[in-house]
Amino acid sequence: MAQIFHPSMNTFSKVTIFGSVFMIAGALWFFLTVERSSYVTQAKVVREQPVPFSHKHHVADLGIDCRYCHTSVEETAFAGIPPTKTCMTCHSQIHATAGMLEPVRESWRTGKSIEWVRVHDLPDFVYFNHSIHLKKGVACETCHGPVGEMALTWRENSLNMEWCLDCHRDPESNVRPREEVFTLDWHPKTEQAVLGARLVEDYDIQNLTNCSICHR
Amino acid sequence: MAKNETSDKPAQAPLIEPGHTYGSITDKISSVVTTRKTPISWFIGFAIAFSLLMVFLSSTAYLLMKGTGIWGINVPVSWGFAIINFVWWIGIGHAGTLISAILLLLRQEWRTSINRFAEAMTLFAVAAAGMFPLLHMGRPWLFYWLMPYPNTMAMWPQFRSPLVWDVFAVSTYATVSLLFWYVGLVPDFATLRDRVNNRGAKLVYGMLSMGWRGSAIHWYRYETAYLLLAGLATPLVVSVHTVVSFDFAMGVIPGWHATIFPPYFVAGAIYAGFAMVLTLSIPLRKVYGLEDFITMRHLQNMAKVMLATGLIVVYGYMMEIFTAWYSAGEFEEAMISNRFNGPYKWVFYSLLLCNAVAPQFIWFSKVQNSVIGIFIIAMFVNVGMWLERFIIVVTSLSQDFLPSSWDTYTGTIWDWATYAGTIGLFLTLMFLFLRLLPSISIFEMRTMVVEEDKGGKES
């Protein structure tokens, strides 16, 4: 009877069977990596905005406090996007004719809001509250990164659930004194492990990993 | 030991009808696959099965469009048909593993002619069973969330939940059953490779036989691997349905929270499984004329196993009633009285008729010698075991502790369509299996010729 397969089939099938283990492991690695890449999470990706607003200029160069624009951050869940009026407090006088700011003036004339591109958008099934984070000593820059360096704003972190839980499972490494939450480029004077443990105690930070803390 | 039994009792029918040789066995079994003429009955059966499979496709498509609300489930009965059918199918699968693994280790030679398709039945039943928890999730495309893997949510499955144990138990079971089945098929794939004329079929069977040439070293490795897999599969017979029973027993619902559940479920699984093997093997031997290989003795042995496990199940029913009384817990007592007098009492009485009364006829030799009689009883058990799961799931959930939350439950048309659909899935796979693979292990049957001959000479 004639042979059905060429002798090379022996090697081929062995390589295929052995190789499939690596193929599957590789595919798994690939998907887990892609899932965390900035291609999917949009972390560190600079967004185009209708007006090229620079946090670097306003925050680092001019030293305007976060709360000047994000007014509701200490009291409510939402930090607040400033109305055009806030822009115009200065820009009715400064750079009042700059072409770059025409959309702002147009908004001021027409009363129609500027449509900013949202950089940080959590899914609707996540309940997130800015005020409680500030009250428990989580600083702006802990989540939003070095805002003072952002000529155009990008999202510093992935906003993946694992990123949330990194801190919720280990608040000691991430909290700082309440007075310093709006400070940029802050470094602890004492060791973070000691300070963090004390703050967690003082601020009564507890029970952060219950599902319904965020999924209500 | 089995051999002595055979020669001590001359009245016992042979495991293989006399007059067969190696050649005749190989011809007979492989011709079912190698023939170019597919019997018309196969086409009729396949058409029915395939239509049911299309029912499954449509009902699943509608389910994915609308969500699980199209089923009858709601609070308080949130499990309904999905879990009933899941447990029913998983249970059916158990006989296959029992026949192939435990009976192999116990050297019960009569298993030889039924193990192949019983194992196939296991695989297809697990496939059908798997559909229900997946579809019941509502978003089945996220099924991989059940697996522990380094996901972006930094979450593990809830390892304290028996539903997660289920995932591991069932997936292990499916994997081991598949391996066991495949390893057992390798020498037969080689036989088919050498017998088919079609070039394409030769290639496929050749691939599947993995270069099997039947050398001594091949046989040695085969026997070792098969025995090891049998050893692996043996604990699974007990463990899988134990874990399935934990889905209930770990809950505090009256009627579920009982220590008898694991053994009671395992016995029920084997009971249902043997009923299904009988349901399948009786038409199979008739249509393909395999009465020489699946003899009356096989049917009787299976009927006896069915009777024995059925009695264990009945013992379970009695213990449930006894425990309710002995515990003097008012909720347990209410649950039992609800079964006898509640809205589902007729389901419960039918269950007792099917599972407790019907198999008792196996005690009579007249029934034992009648193929039709055994078939009818097996059908009763198939139905009865489904009703049993219905009673366990629905009566307990529909009336738990708080009367204000009580409600009744019935399956909707989509529940029934999905259920009928998985029967279609199962039967479609079964028909394809019958046509494409040897439904009886050829090489193991050949070894039987030698042993039957020896038995003959001794007596």
Q: What is the pLDDT of residues A47-77, one digit of tens each?
A: 999 999 999 999 999 999 999 999 999 999 9
Q: Which residue in B138, B142, B144 sits closest to B64, CA to CA?
A: B138
Any idea what DSSP says for residue B160? Answer: T
Q: Where in the sequence is the domain holding B15, given as residue range(s)?
A: 2-453
Residues 6+ apart with CB under 8 A from B326: none
pLDDT at residue B5 in the model: 46
B154 touches chain A (CB under 8 A): yes
Q: Please report whether residue A124 resides in a domain.
A: yes
Q: How far apart are CA A35 and CA A45, in angstroms?
A: 15
Q: Where are the alpha helices (DSSP H) in B98-157?
A: 103-105, 112-136
Q: How far apart are CA B152 and CA B140, in angstroms?
A: 19
Q: Please report whether residue A25 resides in a domain.
A: no
Inter-chain residue contact B152 with A10, CB threshold 8 Å:
no
Burial of B21 (0-12, 13-18, 19+ CB in 10 A): exposed
CATH code for position B286: 1.20.1630.10
Q: What crossing angle do the helices spanning B80-97 and B371-390 adopt, rounded to 10°?
A: 140
Q: Which residue in B299, B425, B384, B431 sits closest to B88, CA to CA?
A: B384
Average pLDDT value over all residues in chain A: 92
Q: Please report whether residue B365 resides in a domain.
A: yes
How far, in Å, are A49, A79, A119, A154, B62 from residue A45 at the CA level? 13, 21, 9, 5, 40
Q: How far apart are CA B262 and CA B242, in angstroms?
A: 4
Any idea what DSSP says for residue A42? Answer: -
Q: How far apart are CA B270 and CA B313, in angstroms?
A: 10
pLDDT at residue A68 in the model: 94
Q: Please report whether residue B205 resides in a domain.
A: yes
Q: Please report whether residue B458 resides in a domain.
A: no
Mutation for B interface: A1, A3, A4, A208, most B CBs within 10 A? A4
Inter-chain residue contact B152 with A1, CB threshold 8 Å:
no
pLDDT at residue B8 in the model: 47
Q: Which residues face A155 on adjacent strands? A: A43
pLDDT at residue B400 in the model: 85
Domain count of the fold of chain A:
1
Q: Which residues face A154 on adjacent strands? A: A46
pLDDT at residue B361 in the model: 94
Burial of B204 (0-12, 13-18, 19+ CB in 10 A): middle
Dihedral sign for Cα atoms in the order A132, A136, A137, A142:
negative
Inter-chain residue contact B211 with A13, CB threshold 8 Å:
yes
pLDDT at residue B459 in the model: 36
The pLDDT of residue A1 is above 80: no
Q: Please report whether residue B459 resides in a domain.
A: no
Q: Please report whether residue B48 resides in a domain.
A: yes
Q: Please report whether residue A62 resides in a domain.
A: yes
Q: How far apart are CA B456 and CA B450, in angstroms?
A: 10
Q: Where are the alpha helices (DSSP H) in A58-205?
A: 66-69, 84-91, 102-110, 130-135, 140-144, 161-168, 192-202
pLDDT at residue B39 in the model: 85
User: What is Dmax (Cα atoms) for chain B?
Assistant: 74
Inter-chain residue contact B211 with A10, CB threshold 8 Å:
yes
Domain count of the fold of chain B:
1
Residue B428 CA to its chain's centroid (Å): 15
Inter-chain residue contact B194 with A162, CB threshold 8 Å:
no
The SS3 call for residue B108 is: coil
- Unique residue bearing structure tokens 């607003």: A53
Q: Please report whether residue B311 resides in a domain.
A: yes
pLDDT tens digits for range A87-143? 999 999 999 889 999 999 999 999 999 999 999 999 999 999 999 999 999 999 999
User: What is Dmax (Cα atoms) for chain A?
Assistant: 97
Tell whether pTM > 0.90.
no
Burial of B251 (0-12, 13-18, 19+ CB in 10 A): middle
Q: Please report whether residue B342 resides in a domain.
A: yes
Smallest CA–CA distance, residue B189 to chain A, in Å, is 14
Q: Please report whether residue A180 resides in a domain.
A: yes
pLDDT at residue B13 in the model: 64
Q: Where in the sequence is the domain holding A193, given as residue range(s)?
A: 55-81+116-214
Q: How far apart are CA A182 and CA A142, in angstroms?
A: 10
The pLDDT of residue A197 is above 50: yes
Inter-chain residue contact A162 with B149, CB threshold 8 Å:
no
Q: Please report whether residue A147 resides in a domain.
A: yes
Q: For chain B of 459 residues, list the mean pLDDT of each consecutive stretch of 10.
A: 44 69 82 82 93 96 93 90 94 86 82 85 93 92 89 89 91 91 92 87 90 91 91 88 92 89 92 92 86 86 92 94 91 92 94 94 91 94 95 91 90 94 95 89 81 49
Dihedral sign for Cα atoms in the order B171, B174, B177, B182:
negative
A162 touches chain B (CB under 8 A): yes
Q: How far apart are CA B402 and CA B360, in angstroms?
A: 39
Dihedral sign for Cα atoms in the order A141, A144, A149, A151:
negative
Q: How far apart are CA B215 and CA A212, in angstroms?
A: 63
The counts of H helices and E strands in chain A are 11, 0
Q: Please report whether residue B379 resides in a domain.
A: yes
Residues of chain A contacting B206 with CB distance shorter than 8 Å = 4-5
Q: How far apart are CA B101 and CA B297, in angstroms?
A: 20
Burial of B288 (0-12, 13-18, 19+ CB in 10 A): buried
pLDDT at residue A145 in the model: 93
Instruction: Put residue A106 in one of left, alpha, beta given phi > 0 → left and psi -120 to 50 → alpha.
Output: alpha
Q: Please report whether residue A150 resides in a domain.
A: yes
